[in-house]
């Protein structure tokens, strides 16, 4: 039946009435009217079941509400003839017939229902608004119908128990014509400060440019406190949720100017009480939203900086969280006293601007505009940790936001304006150290090409080359566990530093050699090959003996890490990664690693890998099955692993295995307990 009433299918409706009459309800007649299928509605009203229900009286499902909404005269008369008219009864939305008539601008029906005793102050249950018929008349789009309906309702002299609600309704829809009617009839007698505040805020948020001057005149003078002004300006600075366009900003600025001119008139031109604390939120919001006209207006009419009423860190709050987002905003801020060199706690304004860069040409343009204004291009952190501008630019959590190209561009600008490559922070780290640890290889190359000292050491006696070979080397945009990319970038940096004559044998304070693969993930095949090639080329160039095995032994558990990862990847079915790991494993064996040697705890690689695979059975649903353990065991045996190798305690892998299935697998392939091996 719902399908029939929606699409006007009279045959379908008749079939439903004949076969399943219990499914036919009064509301279906109203549905047919709302979908403009009036013939079907007439047919339903003639049907005995629905006709009887309609005659029983007006209910919330009565078709009269739909007929009034659609202004269908004959249906209104027909339904009224059947059930009479009860203007106080509402539909399932809580709307009476007068609500529907006002909502749709049916003036003749409004007159008729008012004459019939309808209460225009009866509230509906629409959401949380509880709207009256007068509310709906105020919000109607047609000016002529709106004015006529409001006059008709007010002519009944209803008691406006909440005039502020109608004030806000007028403000929301910017109804100057309705406001004039209310003024003529003396309907506004509101004295509550909070209600006036809400009305003015509604006008700002809805940009009621026509009614705002009138409302300002109506609002009693005593309500225009500094708090009210600050609150209104703050709301004017908030971006419109639906539209934050140049047009909406201009309207809000115009409303703000109307407000301030009105206040200026009331106070005889004295705005001295509007201090920084009063307007700070408005300033911050306008800077954050890059609302240049609003920021300029708020800062200019107060004359705050000229009268020295602000604290020395005036723009601290605005710039600590919201840096200027455009060169235009920067110009406005500078005009009103902004100093890029001013200290703001841990940094200066310019240092903080570097940390807040985003990948937009606008904000990068702000930094470009600031650079020529810097008095000391090598300025340090005001809090004494000796961090200079070049140190601030390099950390990955800053550079990741702006991308490689823009990081390079800003770095070049700093260097072109005299930034020092030899500056040190509190740990004696140079910009090259920082770039090697946290920035792109291209930035490292730029610093090296510009003359950065590759042999400079920090407090730990480490050069940039030391930093490039360590696991702390994290590049922007590279995931924490994206080892292939991390290592690829690290090798790029190592090659750049070695080509710049960095000493691969330089030792740190703890005796660590600069060129040493200390990261646990160096077993990755591509990076492993490249690292060996770089080491070999460096040794040959320096005239040192080439000892690849000794070089790789400096890394931690290369074979173990590789075996562990094969154990982890196998259940995931990632055959590409498995093959790559097998290539790495075989490459390490080719460089001279012994598959049967023990680690520092006396365990063989086979022992470590199989026990690791077995332990995951109890904790990980993706752990390898016996079949996969068999694959791992057979792979190790094919490479020459000794299944009966004993650890320092004289135990074999069979002694250390608790799981029955794995013990059976090992026994099947000749594993023995340590006691038998010793005998």
Q: Is 446's pLDDT higher than 90?
A: yes
Question: For residue 305, what pLDDT is reported?
Answer: 41
pLDDT in tens, 230-264: 888 887 877 665 566 777 888 888 888 888 888 88
Q: Is 451's pLDDT higher than 60?
A: yes
pLDDT in tens, 83-98: 888 888 888 888 899 9
Total Cβ atoms within 10 A of residue 514: 25
Question: For residue 448, what pLDDT is reported?
Answer: 95
Question: For residue 183, what pLDDT is reported?
Answer: 85
How long is the chain? 679
Q: Tell me the three-class secondary structure of 619-654, residue by residue.
A: CCCCCCCHHHHHHHHHHHHHCCCCCCCCCCCCCCHH
Q: Is 179's pLDDT higher than 50?
A: yes
pLDDT in tens, 369-418: 888 887 777 767 655 556 676 776 665 445 566 778 888 888 888 888 88
**pLDDT tier at 445, thresholds 50, 70, 90:** very high
Q: Is 187's pLDDT higher than 70?
A: yes
In the chain, the percentage of residues whose pLDDT exceeds 90 is: 17
pLDDT in tens, 4-39: 999 999 999 999 888 988 888 888 999 999 999 999
Sequence-distant (6+) residues with CB within 8 A of 130 are 123, 124
Q: How far is CA 665 from CA 608, 631, 642, 650, 669, in A?
A: 16, 11, 15, 21, 7
Closest CA to 100 of 64, 130, 73, 125: 64
Total Cβ atoms within 10 A of residue 572: 10
Least confident of 328-337, 392-401, 483-492, 545-554: 392-401
Question: For residue 346, what pLDDT is reported?
Answer: 57
Question: For residue 70, what pLDDT is reported?
Answer: 93
pLDDT, the chain, mean: 79
Least confident of 2-6, 611-615, 650-654, 674-678: 611-615
**pLDDT tier at 220, thresholds 50, 70, 90:** confident
Closest CA to 628 of 619, 640, 616: 616
- For CA atoms 378, 379, 385, 390, the dihedral sign is negative
Q: Average pLDDT of 135-158?
A: 91
- For CA atoms 385, 391, 393, 394, the dihedral sign is negative
Question: For residue 281, what pLDDT is reported?
Answer: 76
Closest CA to 326 of 358, 374, 302, 281: 358
Most confident by average pLDDT, 286-290, 492-496, 578-582 = 492-496
What is the maximal distance between C-alpha atoms in the chain? Answer: 116
> Using CA atoms, how far apart are residues 339 and 404, in angstroms rounded to an integer?
28
Domains of the chain, start order: 1-77 (no CATH), 87-158 (1.25.40.20), 339-516 (1.25.40.20), 594-679 (1.25.40.20)
Paired with 343 in beta bridges are 348
- Cβ atoms of 22 and 54 within 8 Å: the answer is no
Q: How far is CA 192 from CA 139, 170, 206, 666, in A?
A: 24, 17, 21, 87
Q: Is 358's pLDDT higher than 60?
A: no
Q: Average pLDDT of 141-152?
A: 94
Q: Where are the alpha helices (DSSP H) in 274-373?
A: 276-288, 292-302, 316-321, 327-335, 349-355, 361-370
Q: Average pLDDT of 631-657?
A: 81
């Amino acid at each position: 039946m719902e399908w029939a009433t929606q699409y006007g299918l009279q045959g379908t409706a008749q079939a439903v009435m004949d076969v399943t009459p219990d499914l036919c309800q009064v509301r279906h007649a109203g549905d047919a009217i709302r979908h403009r299928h009036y013939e079907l509605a007439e047919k339903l009203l003639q049907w005995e079941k629905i006709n009887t229900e309609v005659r029983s009286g007006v209910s919330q499902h009565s078709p009269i509400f739909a007929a009034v909404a659609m202004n269908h005269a004959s249906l209104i008369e027909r339904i009224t003839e059947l059930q009479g008219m009860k203007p106080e009864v509402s539909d399932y939305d809580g709307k009476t017939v007068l609500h529907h008539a006002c909502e749709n601008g049916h003036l003749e029906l409004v007159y008729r229902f008012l004459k019939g005793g309808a209460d225009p102050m009866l509230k509906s249950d629409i959401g949380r608004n509880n709207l009256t018929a007068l509310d709906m008349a105020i919000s109607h789009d047609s000016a002529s119908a709106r004015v006529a309906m409001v006059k008709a309702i007010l002519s009944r002299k209803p008691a406006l128990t909440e005039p502020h609600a109608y004030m806000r309704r007028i403000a929301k829809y910017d109804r100057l014509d309705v406001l004039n009617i209310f003024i003529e009839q003396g309907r506004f007698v509101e004295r509550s400060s909070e209600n006036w505040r809400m009305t003015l805020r509604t006008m700002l948020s809805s940009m009621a440019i026509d009614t705002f001057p009138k409302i300002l005149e109506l609002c009693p003078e005593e309500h225009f406190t500094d708090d009210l002004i600050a609150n209104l300006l703050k709301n004017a600075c908030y971006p419109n949720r639906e539209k934050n366009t140049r047009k909406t900003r201009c309207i809000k600025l115009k409303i703000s100017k109307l407000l301030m001119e009105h206040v200026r008139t009331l106070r005889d031109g004295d705005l001295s009480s509007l201090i920084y604390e009063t307007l700070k939120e408005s300033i911050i919001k306008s800077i954050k939203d890059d609302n240049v006209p609003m920021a300029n207006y708020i800062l200019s009419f107060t004359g705050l900086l000229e009268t020295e009423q602000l604290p020395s860190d005036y723009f601290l709050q605005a710039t600590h969280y919201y840096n200027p987002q455009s060169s235009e905003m920067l110009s406005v801020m500078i005009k009103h006293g902004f100093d890029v060199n001013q200290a703001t706690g841990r940094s200066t304004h310019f240092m903080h601007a570097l940390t807040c860069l985003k990948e937009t040409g606008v904000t990068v343009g702000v930094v470009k505009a600031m650079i020529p204004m810097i008095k000391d291009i090598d300025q340090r952190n005001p809090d004494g940790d000796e961090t200079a501008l070049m140190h601030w630019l390099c950390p990955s959590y800053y550079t990741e936001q702006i991308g490689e190209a823009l990081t390079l561009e800003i770095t070049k600008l700093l260097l072109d304006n005299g930034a020092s490559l030899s500056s040190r922070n509190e740990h004696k780290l140079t910009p090259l150290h920082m770039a090697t640890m946290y920035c792109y290889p291209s930035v490292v190359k730029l610093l090296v090409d510009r003359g950065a000292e590759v042999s400079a050491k920090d407090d730990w006696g480490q050069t940039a080359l030391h930093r490039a070979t360590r696991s702390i080397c994290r590049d922007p945009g590279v995931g924490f566990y994206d080892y292939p990319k991390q290592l690829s970038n690290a090798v790029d940096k190592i090659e750049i530093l070695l080509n710049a004559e960095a000493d691969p044998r330089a030792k740190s304070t703890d005796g660590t050699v600069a060129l040493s693969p200390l990261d646990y993930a160096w077993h990755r095949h591509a990076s492993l090959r490249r690292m060996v090639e770089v080491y070999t080329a460096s040794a040959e160039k320096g005239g040192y003996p080439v000892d690849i095995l000794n070089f790789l032994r400096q890394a931690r558990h290369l074979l173990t890490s590789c075996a562990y990862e094969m154990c982890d990847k196998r259940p995931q079915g990632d055959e590409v990664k498995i093959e790559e790991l097998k290539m790495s494993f075989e490459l390490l064996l080719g460089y001279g690693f012994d598959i049967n040697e023990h680690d520092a705890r006396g365990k063989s690689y086979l022992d470590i890998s199989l026990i690791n695979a077995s332990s995951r059975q109890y904790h990980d649903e993706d752990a390898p099955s016996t079949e996969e353990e068999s694959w791992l065991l057979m792979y190790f045996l094919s490479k020459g692993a000794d299944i009966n190798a004993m650890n320092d305690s004289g135990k074999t892998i069979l002694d250390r295995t608790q799981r029955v299935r794995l013990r059976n697998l090992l026994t099947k392939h000749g594993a023995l307990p340590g006691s038998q091996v010793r005998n």
